[in-house]
Structure 1
Amino acid sequence: MTYLEFDFIIQPLQPASEILIAELGELGFESFVENEKGLQAYILKEDFRSSQLEELYILKNEAFSISWTSKEVKQQNWNQAWEANFHPITVGNTCVVRAPFHESVEVDFEIVIEPKMSFGTGHHETTHMMLQQILDNDFKGKSVLDMGCGTGVLAILSELKGAACVDAIDIDEWCYENSIENVGRNNCTKIKVYQGDSSLLEGKTYDVIIANINRNILLQDIPIYAKSLNTGGELYLSGFYLEDLTVINSKCESFGLKFDKNYEKNRWVSSKYVN
């Protein structure tokens, strides 16, 4: 499997870098590595069309200067990139997400992640806020869905927080395989990983649904999430900006989901809804 690596040089970095990540994510780019000059973005070669970049809003915005180069990379070369940029992160005072080559840390919840080509190390604002949502809420004895699981980090913390069972789903084969690896790496026994999309939810219900994807997919799938939530269930969403919160809230409310609260970090949002 061959990926294309795009190396974007961005001036000024913010908020251009955040907007570019969001737009590239909607085009099918799977992973991002931010650096001092900009970011590297990865997409399967077979999924990329050069005309896609021409439609990006951020590249047409004269307030930012963005240039890029691209090259082909093999999956196995990804380790060199993320090992050079992946540092342990702390969420609150109780959770640490680290790589296998980092030293162990004494905290309530230590998660060991080898992300490879998968999104979800905890470094991005959306993943960080979703981890915080899980830490701040009661998951004990609950059935949980992690939709768009990436590395499986949110599913793993859900089990560590006492979830009775967790389904982790991602449409990407590499994320599916990576989640299985990370679930085993963290000795989790209550997580089942599936490859697919929201069509897999037919006939299933959960006490908690977590979906850290992107605005368009969330709006498309909120009706399915609402149908799949048990009475009194909780829905946690992220992957969108503060200016998108109104339309996300409106969509949820139209399907009987009541807005409870949201976290905000650098204009990214994570919101909670109750059934």
Structure 2
Amino acid sequence: MNYIELKLTINPEFSDIFMAELGEIGYETFTEENDGLNAYITEDLFSENAVDEIMERYLGMTPISYSYKTLEKKNWNEEWEKNYEPILAANGRVRVRASFHEADSNIPYDLLINPKMSFGTGHHETTSMVLSLQMNVNHEDKKVLDVGCGTGILAIFASKLGASYVAGFDIEEWAAENSRENCQLNNCDNIVIRQGTIEDEPAEQYDIILANINRNILMRDIPKYVEFMKPAPAQLVVSGFYQHDIEDIENVAKEVGLKKIQTENKNNWAAVVFERV
């Protein structure tokens, strides 16, 4: 069967939101571009009206335009494998690869990630920065919460860094399922993944919270994250926003008793470690 390629021109901050929205109506695969997002769906499931309905919900929040075309039938798994190259993070100390790539014994941390959608693989600046920052956070015998776990990559790395227990959740069931699959691939049996949101997170206290989401959700939910943090020196690692957003994120964090202790920037994207005071 042929596929439809939907090309969205949007603010990149909204990419994750549109992936979730389009995933709900049958889109299977996504690729992030500098000016937006490409999404793919089988021709029989494509509906321009359904796309228009999603677009209307975000008018005024981000510039939006789209186009689409029919693609010839291909072996999409083969195409994905050809375009998915292993990546290095944390100054070469972390390698993220799929199961069809050979292991490299020279790399201290080898993460196996087979994504159901083509994001959360470490290729995006925000993910690679969080992986790098995690290297500087003591995970040994710590309890960790991964908010919006996606492929489970951050939770898996937390486990590899010595966390005693890792919980993760994602609003999308396919993401939660993918995280569980990747946890099994990496032999991480101390990770528990569920579908849901921070609103229905069981009452637990964590040493470390990881949240690679987007600016708007972080601005709204950082006060909620603090409710799940142990007393000082519990830490919160956040990303998914631009450098010019750091001040706004920091102001929200300060209001709930967090101080900024480390930042990282890459191609205008930013990641920050906060600590409870």
Coarse TM-score class (shorter-chain normalised) = 0.7 to 0.9
Where does residue 93 of structure 1 map in the other structure? 92
In structure 2, the CA distance between the partners of 1:225 and 1:189, relative to structure 1 (3 Å rule), is: same
SS of match in other structure, 1:228: coil
In structure 2, the CA distance between the partners of 1:38 and 1:81, relative to structure 1 (3 Å rule), is: farther
Give, in whole Å, the separation in 2 of the partners of 1:204 and 1:45. Answer: 42
Structure 2, unpaired ranges of 5+: 24-28
RMSD: 3.1
Where does residue 208 of structure 2 map in the other structure? 208
Contact 2:209 2:225 in 1 (8 A): yes
Where does residue 52 of structure 2 map in the other structure? 50
Percentage identity across aligned positions? 39
Specify which of 13, 17, 30 is matched with residue 26 of structure 1: 17
Q: CA deviation at 1:198?
A: 0.2
SS of match in other structure, 1:175: helix
Superimposed CA distance per residue, residues 135-182 of structure 1 (whole angstroms, 9 cap, x where no aligned partner): 222111100001101000110010100001000111101101100100
Where does residue 127 of structure 2 map in the other structure? 127
Structure 1, unpaired ranges of 5+: 11-18, 60-65
Where does residue 173 of structure 2 map in the other structure? 173
In structure 2, the CA distance between the partners of 1:79 and 1:196, relative to structure 1 (3 Å rule), is: farther
**Residues 1-275 of structure 1 mapped to structure 2, 5 A cutoff:** 5-7=5-7, 20-27=11-18, 28=21, 32-34=30-32, 39-41=37-39, 49-53=51-55, 55=59, 57-59=62-64, 68-69=67-68, 79-91=77-89, 92-106=91-105, 107-117=107-117, 119-231=119-231, 232-275=233-276
Give, in whole Å, the separation in 2 of the partners of 1:250 and 1:274. Answer: 14
Q: CA deviation at 1:131?
A: 0.6
Give, in whole Å, the separation in 1 of the partners of 2:40 and 2:250. Answer: 31
TM-score of the pair, normalised by structure 1: 0.82
Contact 1:118 1:151 in 2 (8 A): no
TM-score of the pair, normalised by structure 2: 0.82
Give, in whole Å, the separation in 2 of the partners of 1:4 and 1:219. Answer: 35
What is the letter of the counterpart of residue 148 of structure 1?
G
Give, in whole Å, the separation in 2 of the partners of 1:118 and 1:197. Answer: 22
Contact 1:118 1:178 in 2 (8 A): no
In structure 2, the CA distance between the partners of 1:247 and 1:271, relative to structure 1 (3 Å rule), is: same
Contact 1:33 1:82 in 2 (8 A): no
Give, in whole Å, the separation in 2 of the partners of 1:36 and 1:225. Answer: 30
In structure 2, the CA distance between the partners of 1:199 and 1:224, relative to structure 1 (3 Å rule), is: same
Between the two proteins, the alignment pairs up a number of residues equal to 256
What is the letter of the counterpart of residue 6 of structure 2?
F
Contact 2:31 2:118 in 1 (8 A): no
Give, in whole Å, the separation in 2 of the partners of 1:68 and 1:133. Answer: 38
In structure 2, the CA distance between the partners of 1:221 and 1:48, relative to structure 1 (3 Å rule), is: farther
Where does residue 26 of structure 2 map in the other structure? none
SS of match in other structure, 1:119: coil
Contact 1:141 1:163 in 2 (8 A): yes
Give, in whole Å, the separation in 2 of the partners of 1:252 and 1:259. Answer: 8
Give, in whole Å, the separation in 2 of the partners of 1:152 and 1:82. Answer: 19
Contact 1:5 1:70 in 2 (8 A): yes
Superimposed CA distance per residue, residues 179-203 of structure 1 (whole angstroms, 9 cap, x where no aligned partner): 0100000111110111100023342
Contact 2:31 2:119 in 1 (8 A): no
Give, in whole Å, the separation in 1 of the partners of 2:148 and 2:177. Answer: 13
In structure 2, the CA distance between the partners of 1:209 and 1:6, relative to structure 1 (3 Å rule), is: same
Q: CA deviation at 1:204?
A: 1.2
Contact 2:15 2:37 in 1 (8 A): no
Give, in whole Å, the separation in 2 of the partners of 1:173 and 1:99. Answer: 21
Q: Which moved more, 1:113-122 or 1:226-235?
A: 113-122
Q: CA deviation at 1:210?
A: 0.1
